[in-house]
Amino acid sequence: MKQNCYLLIFLCLSILGYSQKFQSAVIEMNDGSKKSGLVQSKSLSNGKQIQFKADENAKAESILNTGINAIEFSTNNNKNYRLDYISFYPTAKRNKTEATWMLKLVSGYYDLYTVADYSFDKAGNIVLSTNYLVGSTLPEFYYFVKKQ
């Protein structure tokens, strides 16, 4: 009986730990319209679409990345993070483009972006991470410059 109780508590905590958290954001669509609501931060790195909810009680809807120009996340302590969906050439041959979410670091005549895996801490601040093998590789962050 005691083992079953511990197992139940462990399962409940595991489910809460893996729950998908939504962050407050404004989505800027390619046609210029904007949607305010909540965006699931895990969906940024999960493929071709993001999960969006108009409010906490709404059902999540999928929006294709290709229809989105940018997402601006806002935190509880009035910080804003802007992610743009940008196409680029991954090789010097320039025969095929790829598109990904890039965090805008500096805005001006030239914009500076970085690419990483994006997650949020408990305070709502964005955390950059990268996958690497300890002892055999170093963490890699890529930076891009885009002219306005």
What tens digit of pLDDT does each residue of 28-86 get?
A: 999 999 999 999 877 777 678 899 999 888 999 999 999 999 999 988 788 899 999 98
Report the percent of the chain where pLDDT is more than 90.
30
pLDDT value of position 68: 93
Residue 11, pLDDT above cutoff 60: no
- Say yes or no to pLDDT of 92 above 60: yes
Q: What is the pLDDT of residue 37?
A: 93
Q: Is the pLDDT of residue 111 over 90?
A: yes
Q: Residue 4: pLDDT above 80?
A: no
CB 87 within 8 A of CB 97: yes
Mean pLDDT is lowest, of 19-23, 95-99, 102-106, for 19-23
Q: What is the pTM of this model?
A: 0.75
Residue 69 has a pLDDT of: 93
- Supply the Cα-derived Rg of the chain in whole angstroms: 18
Token code pair at residue 134: 């300890």
Helix (H) or strand (E) holding 6: helix 2-17
User: Residue 136 has what pLDDT?
Assistant: 64
Phi, psi (5° rounding) for residue 28? -100, 115
